Amino acid sequence: MFLTLLNTSWLQRSELMPGRPFLQIPGPALVPERIVRAMSQSLIDHRGPEFACLLKEVLEGLKGVFQTSEGQILLYPGSGTGAWESCVVNTLSPGDRVLGCVNGHFSSRFCETASAHGIQVQLLEVPYGTGIPADLVEQHLRADQDRQIKAVLVLHNETSTGVTTNIAKIRRALDQVGHPALLLVDVVSSLASINFRFDDWRVDVALTGPQKGLMLPPGLAILAVSPKALEANQTSKCARYFWDWAPVLERNSRGEFPYTPATALLFGLKESLAMLREEGLNNVFSRHARLAEACRRAVQAMGLKLLAKKNDERSNTVTAVCMPEGFDSDAYIAHAERSLGIPFGPGLGKIKGKIFRIGHLGSLNELELLGALAGVEMTLASFGVEIPLGAGLAAAESYLLQPASRQGL
């Protein structure tokens, strides 16, 4: 009996998993040791001078990551979902109309947040696997002759499908029409991983959480807001208390918050910003691009299809892989977790059971990615999917071995 068990479950994970853990979901990503250590220091008085210095430093550092000198940063204990709410209730009023761009599960929920506050969402919906076409945004805005649309809601990177939308083009669509709508952008799975330029693209609100490119545990809602968004804040009539920007900005100017802040996460954030500065933002972007391309080549060499249709829309933080016909991706993900202890992201909403997602964001290097890809190959094979073992790894390795000039970045 014991022998049979051993034979049939060669990939059965023991309760205690030795070695470095893998966490290949598209965020939270593994938190680097440096950040863990920074967060484990003793707490300080959140109304004292030391805290005021910490706050000043992280607000300035975040401006650099958002690539803004004009924007103001707002920080809350919370999550990406909280950041949606903070964005909506501070810039809009019940009854306002917005253009909600939907190409996946998270963009749909961003729009639901607006609807929950009595905002009318005019949907621009495209199939999962595609980015938001700027010409469609332009058409919608052009048709809005009396300028009723108050804002365009869009995701820079739709984490549920592994698709990046070109925000510079969306900005140009607004400019082409001369439309005054605010540009409200979710950068939850792109900030500090995929180039995002708040000032250059004249974004009005960009919002994120800390658990992806910023390499922290979850627990913050982070926003960058433009002067135009602050103006809209003056007249916005949505009910708000905790999420209200005004008291936060006022108290931040005195080095404190109107509530108890997530001090330990701010220690971590200071360290994360230092790590990003040391590596250099542009190097961070090219590392993500290189690892993402290696991952895509590996998956395709395994004979699997990517959900993202167009090459230039494929995300550099998450790869959504179509499960071969006849296999359920939720069952596969459970198998991978059980057998090798490697978690992947599931298909969400309409594509539940149809895809799995490999996260490759945050503090990640070549060998870690190759380890994860070996995990994909071994667990797919042991799940019964016929794949040429080693082909994915070989494709990724030969791409990573190419000189930077030939990697097409």
Ligand X SMILES: Cc1ncc(COP(=O)(O)O)c(C=O)c1O
- 78 Rama class: left (phi>0) / alpha (psi -120 to 50) / beta: left
Contact (CB, 8 A) for 375 and 22: yes
The angle that helices 366-383 and 281-301 make with each other, rounded to 10 degrees, is: 20
Which x/- pattern, by CB under 6 A, does the window 106-135 give for ligand X? x-----------------------------
From residue 139, alpha-carbon distances to 133, 170, 220, 236, 304 in Å are 10, 12, 36, 26, 35
For the CB of residue 247, give the shortest distance to ligand X in the complex, in Å. 22
In terms of CB distance, is 106 or 383 closer to ligand X?
106
Of 68-87, which residues contact ligand X (CB under 6 A)? 79-81
Nearest to 66 by CA among 187, 183, 156: 187
Q: Does 213 bind ligand X (CB under 6 A)?
A: no
Task: Check residue 345 for interaction with ligand X (CB under 6 A).
Answer: no
333 SS3 class: helix
| Minimal distance, residue 42 CB to ligand X, in Å | 27
- Measured from the CB atom, is 121 or 141 closer to ligand X? 121
Q: Which is nearer to ligand X, 49 or 349 (CB)?
A: 349
Our CB check for ligand X shows the closer of 162 and 392 to be 162
Q: 159 or 319: whose CB is closer to ligand X?
A: 159
Q: Which residue's CB comes closest to ligand X? A: 80
317 makes contact with ligand X (CB under 6 A): no
Q: How far is the CB of 318 from ligand X (least distance, A)?
A: 8
Tokens of 28: 């939270």
Alpha helices in 43-183 (DSSP H): 49-66, 80-91, 105-116, 134-143, 167-177
Scanning residues 216 to 235, which ones bind ligand X (CB under 6 A)? 218
Residue 267 identity: F
User: How many residues contact ligand X, by CB under 6 A?
Assistant: 12
Whether residue 220 contacts residue 212, with contact meaning beta carbons closer than 8 Å, is answered with: no
Cβ at position 79, least distance to ligand X in Å: 3
CA distance 318 to 325: 22
d(C-alpha 164, C-alpha 314), whole Å: 6
Min separation Cβ 103 and ligand X, Å: 11
Nearer to ligand X, 188 or 308 (CB): 188
Contact characters 4-43, ligand X, x per CB under 6 A: -----------------------x----------------
Q: Which of 323, 362, 314 lies closest to 161, judged by CA?
A: 314
Q: Is 361 in the site for ligand X (CB under 6 A)?
A: no
Q: Which residue of 32, 100, 209, 375 would you call a contact of ligand X, by CB under 6 A?
A: 209
**Residue reference for tokens 């969306």:** 170
Which uninterrupted H or E stretch holds 48? Answer: none
What's the min distance (Å) between Cβ of 258 and ligand X? 22
Return the number of the residue (186 or 293) whose C-beta is nearest ligand X.
186
Pick from 310, 270, 301, 262: which is nearest to 131 by CA?
A: 310
Q: 221 near 79, Cβ under 8 Å?
A: yes
H or E element in which residue 336 lies: helix 329-340
Q: Which is nearer to ligand X, 127 or 180 (CB)?
A: 127
Q: Are 84 and 186 in contact (CB under 8 A)?
A: yes
Smaller CB separation from ligand X, 189 or 339: 189
The site string for ligand X over 158-197 (x = CB under 6 A, - otherwise) reads -x--------------------------x-xx--------
* Closest approach of ligand X to the CB of residue 235, in Å: 26
Question: How far is residue 267 from each of residues 116, 156, 168, 275, measured CA to CA in Å?
Answer: 34, 27, 33, 13
Which residues of the chain form contacts with ligand X (CB under 6 A)? 27, 79-81, 106, 155, 159, 186, 188-189, 209, 218
